[in-house]
Amino acid sequence: MPNEYQKDGDIRFVGLNSRDNPSALPKGILSRSQNFRLDRGVAQTRKGLQRKTIGSIVGQVIYATGTYIQSSGQEIIVLVVANGLYTYNPQTELLSSKIYFPNFITGKTLTSTDSLNVTVTSAAHGLIVGAKVYVETTYAGYSGLFTITAVTTNTFSYLMPAVASVGAVTGVACSYSASELITTPEGCDVCNAMDKIFISRGFDKRPLMWDLNVTITALPATTTAGHEFPNCTNLMYYGNRLIAIGKYHAETNPLRNYDTVSVSNFLDYTDWDIADAFSVNNGSNDQLVGVAPWTLNEFLVFMRNSIYYVSIGNDRYATGAALGSDSYIKTLATDIGCLAKKSVVQAGGGVFFLSDNGVYFLQPQPASAESMKLLTMADPISAPIDDIIQRINRNYASNAVATYWNNRYYLAVPLDDSVVNNTVLVYNFILKNWESVDTYPTLVTTGSNLVADSWTINTSASGLTDYIYIVITKSAVPQHGLAVGDYVNVNFTGQSWTGSGYVDLLPPSGTYKVIDDAYSSLDSSSFYIKIPKSSFLVLPYTGTYPTLSWIYQLGYGVTFAKAESVSLKEFIVVKKDNQRRMFLVDNYQGIFLTEQLDVDEFGESIGNPILPTPIASLDTPANIALGLYGNLVLVALYDSLGNPNANVIVLDPLSFQKNNITAVLETRQYTIDNITDKRFSSYEANILTSGGERIETYAEVSNPDVRVRVDSLGSSSSEDYNRSNPIRKTGSGLILKFISYSKRPSIRSAFIYATQQKKNNINKQ
């Protein structure tokens, strides 16, 4: 009797388990889900980012974010930078001008002859060597946060990390901030309370307060009552009180900063009584990480290795009132703590947080007389994706951030060797399963594409390592404007040159890091990259080091542009179009609206030109000589002297480079419930497209291991496909792998058909 075909597969997809053996997973559970959403059992590529900010915010480091509500009821996003803050209205999509911190100095000048070393002239400035200063000017590349290297009575100097693309300048106007700055994200937090915005700046700086109008002040060191706002690293407004991580102001031992939670008086940010400074596990080998609200007027205190909960009591409403008999600190857990303060999120009737062992979920025991006894905390909720958790870069894991939106917990973490949050882990509360590991655009062109003068191989360095060192020269304005450590997309075209003429051999194009080591350097007119020798189709030399015969070592026709990756600084959920929407804040590129487009917007503006409004006063002979006349502007943003050209045609500010979302789905391993050999004959999958998608399907067979593409679908219109193609491979198990390269196709189900291979068991006796 012939073998009958047997069937295995999934009629729906309901979760992700990347840790366990794919052959042991239950039906509907995926072994890999990258950039997918599993709504109603259908796997569909997530929606993409829409960029929302341009202008002066781009390129500035964003140290902290927050929100507040206008009198109209509109929620506003706050972006804190080194010397001030911006506000963004998600409904009107307008970014404010910068509101400066105190002591912003204007009307000064700066000079640089080499585009790197800068001297600012400011009479009796009072600054010292080693101090931080934030300089602003309209000349491209000269603004930023710097460290002062030299001073005189009326000048101070500093070295920029990158050359200014507009070249040397003399006596150009500038402004600067020095006494009130934020120079590190550590300890920087934003809290909206009592119709004000409070900004913490760590234990060594006074918090700032913004009146939601135009005035930002540093909170005074003393108050009439002497109970001043503590220097702190974390702020929360809960139960009409501000809660801060930081010692009581009169405490002289700085170690108390790491184990003390200070609580303000009721509806009063000016008075912080000593009775309300709670030392948690005083003097232990532990330190505070963050705080979070809980139930019955209690709040959680997360330490690095343990968790506590605190109640201020029910009768602490007046300044100086006695500590209530019902106030307390109680232990919740001593074997687990929190790794990142901004991973703590209230959701689903409990609290999520990232620990050293993974993501945990705290939930109270409803039947308990004490509100904080746990229902369960035995295993991390991230156990099904523990292989991903183990890839988190622990040196930067404290920067992880999270939020709750659309019935999902989103956790952004730095994976592998990344120093910024580059991946988002998504947990679905409806499915009660992990859903996806989201990735975002990597090393995308974000700077203008420039044409270099030439490229040259550093022949003295090549051969000493496994790399070829190449110097790229760009001496004309605008110059390259790159810093050591920047990534740059380089495209080698044309031909290369040797002493005997031109040859059709070029270095490989690609993305490389700007370097400065023993064999390279950086100046205003050139930068170095190094390319692995294994990347060359034909090496630029013959022979072995040190006896080399160079085939080619110099060429022309090379273009380059700065490249960046999405860096997830913060999630913010605010109202837009009368619904809660999730925004993503990038460290350097500003605000993005998530789950919006069929692509991710990131990179250079590619929109339609916008003609500027005619300004009659600009139609001077000097401007006309530069090519400026009304709306007919055919010049660069800066003239040959580095002066900004007025009335320039710009691109649509909200149209940026489109990056297709690559989504990968891998099913569980289909074995038909046994490990014997099978002849996999075919597969079938139900796929829904809207037009413009490209999706490929692979069969990954185990024992013997082989991977084969079994389908490639390019859809030109909206269609519901039932794809069925042969596999014709033998093995013990099979995983179907779907890769979507464009737009947002849906995968509804997947099945395989196989026959069991017969085995004859013969007893030789």
Residue 167 scores a pLDDT above 70: yes
Residue positions counted in the chain: 765
553 near 518, Cβ under 8 Å?
Answer: no
What does the alpha-carbon distance between residue 389 and residue 625 come to, in Å, rounded to a whole number? 61
| DSSP tag of 141 | T
Render pLDDT for 680-717 as a digit per residue (tens, 0 to 9): 999 999 999 998 899 999 999 999 999 999 999 998 88
Q: What is the mean pLDDT of the chain?
A: 88
Domain ranges of the chain: 6-46+661-756, 47-59+339-442+565-599, 103-177, 454-564
350 near 363, Cβ under 8 Å?
Answer: yes
Helix extents (H) in 439-595: none
Check residue 478 and give its pLDDT: 87
What does the alpha-carbon distance between residue 150 and residue 157 come to, in Å, rounded to a whole number? 5
252 Cβ partners below 8 Å, 6+ apart?
none
Check residue 298 and give its pLDDT: 87
571 near 500, Cβ under 8 Å?
Answer: no
Check residue 54 and give its pLDDT: 77
Q: What is the mean pLDDT of residues 394-414?
A: 96
Same CATH topology for 6-46+661-756 and 103-177? no
Q: What is the mean pLDDT of residues 551-557?
A: 90
Check residue 635 and give its pLDDT: 41
Check residue 763 and give its pLDDT: 57
- The CATH topology of domain 103-177 is Elongation Factor Tu (Ef-tu); domain 3 (2.40.30)
DSSP 652-717: -TT-EEEE---EEEE---B-TTS-S-EEEEEEEEEEEEESS-EEEEEEEEETTTEEEEEEEEE-SS
126 Cβ partners below 8 Å, 6+ apart?
none
Q: How many CA atoms lie within 13 A of 281 on its CB side?
A: 20
β-bridge mates for residue 222, sequence order: none
How far lies 426's CA from each of 44, 48, 412, in Å?
Answer: 14, 15, 9
What CATH number labels 6-46+661-756?
2.60.120.260
Residue showing tokens 């603004």: 143
Residue 3 scores a pLDDT above 90: no
> In this structure, are strands 29-30 and 15-16 parallel, antiparallel, or unpaired?
parallel
Q: What is the mean pLDDT of residues 520-541?
A: 91
* pLDDT tier, 636 (very low <50, low <70, confident <90, very high otherwise): very low
Residue 637 scores a pLDDT above 50: no
Q: Please tell me the least confidently modeled range out of 180-194, 207-221, 408-422, 490-504.
A: 490-504
* H or E stretch at 386: helix 386-389
Q: Please tell me the least confidently modeled range out of 104-108, 243-247, 353-357, 636-640.
A: 636-640
Residue 632 scores a pLDDT above 80: no
| DSSP tag of 333 | E
Please name which of 35, 10, 18, 42 lies closest in space to residue 431, comparing C-alpha atoms.
42
Residue showing tokens 């291991």: 705
Buried/exposed 144-173: b ≥16 CB within 10 Å, e otherwise: bbbebeebeeebbbbebebbbbbbbbeebe
Q: Please tell me the least confidently modeled range out of 231-245, 307-321, 331-345, 672-686.
A: 307-321
275 near 326, Cβ under 8 Å?
Answer: no
Render pLDDT for 259-315 as a digit per residue (tens, 0 to 9): 999 998 888 888 888 888 899 988 888 999 999 988 777 899 999 999 999 988 777
Q: What is the mean pLDDT of residues 162-180?
A: 92
Write out the two tokens for 367.
């039947």
Give percent of the chain with pLDDT exceeding 70.
88
* pLDDT tier, 464 (very low <50, low <70, confident <90, very high otherwise): confident
Name the phi and psi angles at 706, rounded to 5. -155, 145
Check residue 460 and give its pLDDT: 85
- Other beta carbons less than 10 A from residue 75's beta carbon: 18
What does the alpha-carbon distance between residue 598 and residue 562 come to, in Å, rounded to a whole number? 25
Check residue 627 and give its pLDDT: 44
Please name which of 183, 724, 115 lies closest in space to residue 476, comparing C-alpha atoms.
115
Residue 334 scores a pLDDT above 90: no
What does the alpha-carbon distance between residue 532 and residue 468 come to, in Å, rounded to a whole number? 6
User: Cis omega (within 30 of 0) on the bond before 546?
Assistant: yes
pTM for this model (two decimals): 0.90
Check residue 750 and give its pLDDT: 97
Write out the two tokens for 732.
């013990």
How far lies 641's CA from each of 63, 160, 167, 466, in Å?
Answer: 33, 19, 8, 41
What does the alpha-carbon distance between residue 727 and residue 715 come to, in Å, rounded to a whole number? 22
Residue 368 scores a pLDDT above 90: no
Render pLDDT for 6-53 as a digit per residue (tens, 0 to 9): 999 999 999 999 999 999 999 999 999 999 999 999 999 999 999 998
Helix extents (H) in 575-672: 621-625
* pLDDT tier, 348 (very low <50, low <70, confident <90, very high otherwise): confident
By CB atoms closer than 10 A (0-12, 13-18, 19+), residue 517 is exposed
Residue 448 scores a pLDDT above 90: no
Residue 529 scores a pLDDT above 60: yes
Residue 203 scores a pLDDT above 90: yes
Instruction: Give the residue, 615 or 427, on which the prediction is more confident.
Output: 427
Check residue 273 and give its pLDDT: 84
* pLDDT tier, 624 (very low <50, low <70, confident <90, very high otherwise): very low
Write out the two tokens for 502.
């031109």
505 near 551, Cβ under 8 Å?
Answer: yes
* pLDDT tier, 633 (very low <50, low <70, confident <90, very high otherwise): very low
